[in-house]
Amino acid sequence: MKRILQVLLAATILTAIPAIAQTEISFTAADILKTPRDQLLGEVAGVATNSKGDIFVFTRTGDPSVSLGGSRTFQRGGTRLYQYDATGKYVREIGKGLYGFLVAQQVRIDKDDNIWAVDASSGMVMKFDPTGSRIVMLMGRKPESIDVPQPARTSRNGGAGASQDLFDWPTDVAWDAAGNIFVADGLGANARVAKFSSVGKFIKSFGAKGAGDGQFVDTHSLAVDAAGNVYVADQGNKRISVFDNDGNFKSQITGVGGPAALCLSGGAHPYLYSSNSNPQDDIDSGGEIYRLELNGSVTGKFGHAGKAAKEFGTVNEIDCRGNALFVAEVGNYRVQKITLK
């Protein structure tokens, strides 16, 4: 009996260890963006910085609406893209009134400072030049009209991989060193990652709906490391799935909650950041952001769900290009600049 007790005790201690090992990283947070009063931020879906430190914010605001009258019902508006300088001073709006801006999902900046915007509802990935004044390339096509009443959310595009660059609620975009483009597609029925050449030519899709290795409930975010490996945040399966550059499943990372936003830092020692974002209807659990080695081991975590400063409200994107992190919060209509200590 005594022995059994000891074994039980040891087992308890062992299972407790991973939680203890996740050290809290102390940090400071600042809300530095100075947004013009007539264009206040709504839900902030995306934040990204370029090589100069300019900050790009993709927000669901304005007036998302559908038309009355006409041959069909048309969806329009509701999303805007703002640029700030590194101090948070507002610089300009990009793509005002753009046809593909309906539901902001993510903004990312590539190594050449081109600006990429991903819109979940228009199903489009839009590449702007570094000034934001010109569209360089478009992927996906906005549905011409919407059905009323709205049918249940189903694939508009025939399932995983069938449709090259027609996306179903796409969520994110990333690039490998060769410039190949990876799109997370997405929150709809597709449950895949699509790979394209740097000029947008379809190469392949990988992943499928499900819980098996290399399958997804949803693909909420993705990141590509210097070696070309692809990390996919699958919030529904509560794991990050890792693939090689050709989409072959390699491994999965668990123990980080339901990953909804990923960021891979640069530098000599890159880290992977992953947010266990809380749903908008619950701020009493989750919300923490993990810092991981690329092999999946957690080196620490910070923050929790809430509405106060230093708390996080449904984080949808993390930028980790520089020394500071920028965190986009859907629930709190803000971006926080995070400095880890």
Partner 1 sequence: MKSTLPAAMAALLLCAGPAMAQVKATAQGVPDLDYRAVPGFFKPPPGDYPGETQGVATNSKGDVFVFFRAERSRLWEYDNTGKFVREIGKGFYNFLFAHSVRVDAHDNIWAVDEGSNTVTEFNPDGSKVLLVIGFRPPVTAGVVATPHGPNPPDQNYTLCRPTDVAWDQQGNIFVSDGYCNNRVVKYDRNGRFLAKVGGPASGKGVNQFNLPHGLQVDRAGNVYVADRGNARYVVLDNNLTWKTTYDNYGSAWSACISQGPHQYLFVSNSNPNGNPPGSWDNTGQVYKLELDGTPLGKFGHAGKLEPNWQVVHMMDCRNPNELIVGEIESWRAQKFVLQSK
Query: Which distant-in-sequence residues (6+ apart) come within 8 Å of 124 by Cβ?
Result: 100, 118, 138, 139, 140, 141, 142, 167, 170
Task: Based on the shown chain and the rule CB under 8 A, indicate whether residue 169 belongs to the binding site for partner 1.
Answer: yes
Question: For residues 325 and 317, what is the distance between their CA atoms, to the nearest angstrom?
Answer: 10
Does residue 287 contact residue 305 with C-beta atoms inside 8 Å? yes
Residue 29 near residue 66 (C-beta atoms within 8 A): no
332 Rama sector, left if φ>0, alpha if ψ -120 to 50, beta otherwise: alpha
Residue 110 contacts residue 95 (beta carbons within 8 Å): no
| Residue from 12, 15, 71, 150 binding partner 1 (CB under 8 A) | 150
The CB-of-206 to partner 1 minimum distance in angstroms stands at 24
- What DSSP assignment string belongs to 105-119? EEEEE-TT--EEEEE
Q: Please state, in angstroms and rounded to a whole number, the distance separating the CA atoms of residues 178 and 39.
A: 38
Residue 308 within binding range of partner 1, rule CB under 8 A = yes
Which residue, 100, 151, 119, 114, is CA-closest to 46? 119
CA distance 311 to 305: 5
Q: How many residues of this chain interact with partner 1, rule: CB under 8 A?
A: 41
Nearer to partner 1, 132 or 186 (CB): 186
Identity of the residue, 35 or 163, whose beta carbon is nearer to partner 1 in the bound complex: 35
Range 60-119, binding partner 1 (CB under 8 A): 60-64, 66, 73, 78, 102-103
307 in contact with partner 1 (CB under 8 A): yes
Position 5 contacts partner 1 (CB under 8 A): no
Q: Which of 29, 94, 109, 120 binds partner 1 (CB under 8 A)?
A: 120
148 contributes a contact to partner 1 by CB under 8 A: yes
Q: Closest CB to partner 1 among 75 and 114?
A: 75
Q: How far is the CB of 10 from partner 1 (least distance, A)?
A: 38
Q: Which of 41, 107, 160, 240 binds partner 1 (CB under 8 A)?
A: 41
Q: Which is nearer to partner 1, 3 or 63 (CB)?
A: 63
Q: How far, in Å, CA of 82 to CA of 88, rounded?
A: 11
Q: Does 37 bind partner 1 (CB under 8 A)?
A: yes
Instruction: List the Cα angle 201/190/335 in 5-degree steps.
Output: 85
Spell out, one character per residue from 203 to 242, where the chain touches partner 1: x when CB under 8 A holds, - when not. ----------------------------------------
Sites of contact with partner 1 (CB under 8 A): 35, 37-43, 59-64, 66, 73, 78, 102-103, 120-121, 146, 148-150, 153, 169, 187, 280-284, 306-308, 311, 331-334
